[in-house]
């Protein structure tokens, strides 16, 4: 490789969304509204769970953690996107780009590990109802949350350090609205083989293993319901697991579709739309999916709204 033109780029340009300039204002308002909904919705869930002592159970502690992670996950990309939509040429310095990538991976992973913890919690609650409180002790819950943080720190750090090794020389236009791992790899001038292998193996592991664990939990739940079919048991199981399954399929469906089955005609537009799905839409919908179908959360909401009025009834 010639040493001559090894200029090192210090910033990138984020191309943003594939939309026409005249659609820009409408999209801006739409995304701003979506981001505000995400922030407020998730904050509301965290507040309700914090305020209501009936909700200090493992399931709601994990849900509160999930809301926190959703809030941060969309804050990694959305404020920058909204800011960039106002700029002519949206630059992002190299260091900011890596930082954004780090936190994107961090909160994305954290979300998938928390979904595993929630699935395990439901599995224990439905399959071993009598031992639930002894198995899901506060210590175990805390350990699961800490383990998620440790694993996700390690994974995000690994990708970020591997990326920091690369150098970028000519092309600095990222055809995306945030510093995405795969979009950055395409711009690198140095050899990216190691990075691609790590993405394939570790990345695959981090997505596929949680997904399989979740599937396993819910299939065990299904088996245990079908063994003793009672309409009440079935209704109860579906009402608690339905919302979990909706979130799981939304989140993993788009990620697996995007990263693990890259079809030949994966255009930049399709990739951006899919990325929009799980960075913006999923974190926005989570609070609604959980609270709309959930009596406890609705109850806590009413209690928080009208503290004076006595019993809450459905």
Q: Kindly state the smallest distance separating residue 61's Cβ from ligand NAG, in Å.
A: 4
Q: Kindly state the smallest distance separating residue 55's Cβ from ligand NAG, in Å.
A: 11
Using CB positions, name the residue nearest to ligand NAG: 64
Count CB atoms within 10 A of the CB of residue 216: 14
In angstroms, the CA 229 to CA 222 distance is: 10
Question: Is residue 61 a contact residue for ligand NAG (CB under 6 A)?
Answer: yes
Q: Do 77 and 177 touch, CB atoms closer than 8 A? A: yes
Question: Is residue 43 a contact residue for ligand NAG (CB under 6 A)?
Answer: no
The residue written with tokens 């210090």 in the block is: 10
Question: Is residue 297 a contact residue for ligand NAG (CB under 6 A)?
Answer: no
Kindly report the length of the chain.
314
Question: Is residue 68 a contact residue for ligand NAG (CB under 6 A)?
Answer: yes
Q: Kindly state the smallest distance separating residue 145's Cβ from ligand NAG, in Å.
A: 4
Pairing of strands 11-14, 91-93: antiparallel
Kindly tell me which of 142 and 205 has the beta carbon lying closer to ligand NAG. 142
* 115: region left, alpha or beta (phi > 0 left; psi from -120 to 50 alpha): alpha
Q: Kindly state the smallest distance separating residue 68's Cβ from ligand NAG, in Å.
A: 4
Kindly tell me which of 65 and 254 has the beta carbon lying closer to ligand NAG. 65
Q: How many residues line the site for ligand NAG (CB under 6 A)?
A: 7
Among 39, 72, 135, 145, binds ligand NAG (CB under 6 A): 145
Question: Is residue 44 a contact residue for ligand NAG (CB under 6 A)?
Answer: no
- Which of 159, 168, 198, 207 is closest to 186 using CA atoms? 168
In angstroms, the CA 94 to CA 168 distance is: 10
Kindly tell me which of 68 and 259 has the beta carbon lying closer to ligand NAG. 68
Among 38, 42, 57, 64, binds ligand NAG (CB under 6 A): 64
Q: Kindly state the smallest distance separating residue 50's Cβ from ligand NAG, in Å.
A: 7
Which residues make Cβ contacts (< 8 Å) with residue 96, sequence separation at least 6? none
In angstroms, the CA 246 to CA 2 distance is: 53
What single DSSP character describes residue 129? G
Q: Kindly state the smallest distance separating residue 42's Cβ from ligand NAG, in Å.
A: 10
Could you tell me which stretch among 59-67, 152-160, 230-238, 283-291 binds ligand NAG (CB under 6 A)?
Answer: 59-67
Q: Do 119 and 213 touch, CB atoms closer than 8 A? A: yes
Name the β-bridge partners of 11. Answer: 93
Which residues are at the interface with ligand NAG (CB under 6 A)?
Answer: 61, 64-65, 68, 141-142, 145
């Amino acid at each position: 490789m010639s040493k001559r033109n090894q200029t090192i780029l210090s910033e990138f340009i984020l191309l943003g969304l594939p939309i026409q300039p005249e659609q820009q204002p409408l999209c801006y308002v739409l995304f701003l509204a979506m981001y505000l909904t995400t922030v407020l919705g998730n904050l509301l869930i965290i507040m309700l769970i914090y305020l209501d002592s009936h909700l200090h159970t493992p399931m709601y502690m994990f849900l509160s953690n999930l809301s926190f992670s959703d809030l941060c996950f969309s804050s990694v990309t959305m404020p920058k996107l909204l800011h960039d939509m106002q700029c002519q040429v949206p630059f992002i310095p190299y260091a900011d780009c890596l930082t954004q990538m780090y936190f994107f991976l961090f909160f994305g992973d954290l979300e998938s590990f928390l979904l595993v913890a929630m699935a395990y919690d439901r599995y224990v609650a439905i399959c071993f109802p009598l031992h639930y409180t002894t198995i899901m002790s506060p210590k175990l819950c805390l350990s699961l949350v800490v383990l998620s943080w440790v694993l996700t720190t390690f994974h995000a750090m690994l990708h970020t350090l591997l990326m920091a090794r690369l150098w970028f020389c000519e092309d600095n236009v990222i055809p995306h609205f945030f510093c995405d791992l795969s979009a950055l790899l395409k711009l690198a001038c140095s050899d990216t083989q190691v990075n691609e292998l790590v993405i394939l193996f570790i990345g695959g592991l981090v997505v596929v293993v949680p997904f399989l664990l979740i599937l396993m939990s819910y299939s065990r739940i299904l088996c245990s319901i079908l063994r003793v079919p009672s309409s009440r048991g079935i209704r109860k199981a579906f009402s608690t697991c339905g919302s979990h399954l909706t979130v799981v399929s939304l989140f993993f469906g788009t990620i697996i579709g995007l990263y693990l089955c890259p079809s030949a005609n994966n255009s930049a537009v399709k990739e951006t739309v899919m990325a929009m799905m799980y960075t913006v839409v999923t974190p926005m919908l989570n609070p609604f999916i959980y609270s709309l179908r959930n009596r406890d959360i609705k109850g806590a909401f009413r209690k928080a709204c009208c503290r004076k009025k006595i019993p809450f009834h459905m």
